Amino acid sequence: MAEPDVASAAFARAWSAYRLINQNVDENDERRASLERFIRQRREAGLDDVEMLAVAGLKFLKTMDQSGI
């Protein structure tokens, strides 16, 4: 059985939740690529829990929003 792609699952969950909260954000917003990079970096650093990665991703997006990036 193939191991699920934890980073992809976490990214999909975080991006979906973010867009539910921020309905004016386009599916292809530039934050999407930033989030994907962020989650992949955390995964490569050893974080392997989908939920923890998704929460970290949402915190990252919130920080981006607050800083105006």
How far apart (Å, rounded) are the C-alpha atoms in residues 3 and 65? 33
pLDDT tens for residues 3-51? Answer: 569 999 999 999 999 999 999 999 999 999 999 999 999 999 999 999 9
Q: Is the pTM of this model over 0.85?
A: yes
Other beta carbons within 10 angstroms of residue 32's beta carbon come to 17
Kind and range of the H or E run holding 60: helix 50-67
Residue 68 has what DSSP assignment?
Answer: T
pLDDT of residue 68: 73
C-alpha–C-alpha distance, residues 65 and 55, integer Å: 15
Query: What per-residue confidence (pLDDT) applies to 31?
Result: 95
* 1 has a pLDDT exceeding 60: no
Judge contact between 57 and 41, C-beta under 8 A: no
pLDDT (0 to 100) of residue 2: 42
How far is the C-alpha of 20 from the C-alpha of 56, rounded, in Å?
Answer: 17
